[in-house]
Amino acid sequence: MNDYRFELLDLSNNGISDISNLLTLVFGEKAGFSPAFVDWEYNQNPVGKAIGFNAFSGDTLAAHYVTQPLISEFGGKKIKGLLSLNTATHTDHRGKKLFTILADKTYEYALEQGYQFVIGVANANSTPGFLKNLKFKLIKPLEVKIGVGKFPVNLQKSEGYQRSWDKEMLEWRLNNPKLGYEIRRQKDHFVVLAPTGNYGINAIIGYFPNSLFTEKIKNLGKSSFTANPTKIWMGLDEGLNWKNTLYFDFPDRYKPSPLNLIFRDLSESGLSLEPSTLKFMNLDFDAY
């Protein structure tokens, strides 16, 4: 590893530009990692700026790993944690275990800053690496439902884990410069929908009590939404009652890759997630 130097993220304009270039090189133009998007994702989160490390070979950004600060509720107690977000390795520097090194450095630094856990969503290919090399625990594959019409909403607080949102956080999250959303107001709550890229199919990415609605959410685009589209829901919430609805389990054969909820307690204080007592929805990670 003497060929590489490891540095905390540079979140200046130049640093954001370098990260944007690497993410675009690895994931392609269609992934939308423009400097404006990366700056929004890394610098503008009201909970805190992104935490992560870069690996350099000379002047070349060889690998990158980042986590996003969040606030969670464990049984009603608010705790600072991190969402495992983006990882990318330059094509010329793969096979050097750079991701593992960057992640270890990130978690060590984050613990020093008071962050107590890391949560993430990993596909089938990356899950074994998180479990074997980075001490994560597999919680459960995310459930996926698809259907039409009304869908269940659970506004009750979780007895276990859920991400804590307030007006300021939602305003930031829903002003994502890459996407437009639709908000549907109901009697006691509002629902956030996002286009999936497939005509006639929208994603139910979150729902919240009306007390969290803010008129400062500017990024609402209805042009990509049809009047009564098929909807897809992804997450974990045992409090949702899908009986008597027109929603069904999404067929496994059509899933591009199962997505798994993973978790690591950085503080070693006994934090854990129980699938039966947690609430986790699309808006809680970076699917849309």
**What's the pLDDT tens digit per position in 78-90?**
999 999 999 999 9
Task: Identify the pLDDT of residue 232.
Answer: 93
Alpha-carbon distance of 119 to 81, in angstroms, equals 8
Task: Identify the pLDDT of residue 227.
Answer: 56
Residue 269 above 70 pLDDT? yes
Residue 256 above 50 pLDDT? yes
Query: What's the mean per-residue pLDDT of the chain?
Result: 91
Task: Identify the pLDDT of residue 78.
Answer: 94
* 2-20 tens-digit pLDDT: 789 999 999 999 999 999 9
Confidence of residue 133 (pLDDT cuts 50, 70, 90): very high
Task: Identify the pLDDT of residue 268.
Answer: 81
Q: Which residues of 31-66 are buried (b: 16+ CB within 10 A; e: fewer)?
A: ebbbeebbbbbbeebebeebbbbbbbbeeebbbbbb
Confidence of residue 106 (pLDDT cuts 50, 70, 90): very high
Task: Identify the pLDDT of residue 76.
Answer: 83
Task: Identify the pLDDT of residue 223.
Answer: 45
Instruction: Using alpha carbons, list the distances in angstroms from residue 264 to 81, 82, 130, 187.
Output: 10, 10, 9, 38
With a pLDDT cut of 70, the percent of the chain lying above it is 94
Question: Which domains does the chain carry?
Answer: 5-141+258-284 (3.40.630.30), 143-254 (no CATH)
**Least confident piece of the model among 12-21, 117-126, 131-140, 197-206:** 197-206
**Who contacts 73 (Cβ-Cβ below 8 Å, separation ≥6)?**
79, 157, 158, 161, 162, 163, 164
* 154-184 tens-digit pLDDT: 999 898 999 999 999 999 999 999 888 888 8
Q: Helix (H, G, I), strand (E, B), or coil: what is residue 198?
A: coil
* 190-239 tens-digit pLDDT: 999 998 888 888 999 999 999 998 776 665 655 455 555 899 999 999 99
Confidence of residue 51 (pLDDT cuts 50, 70, 90): very high
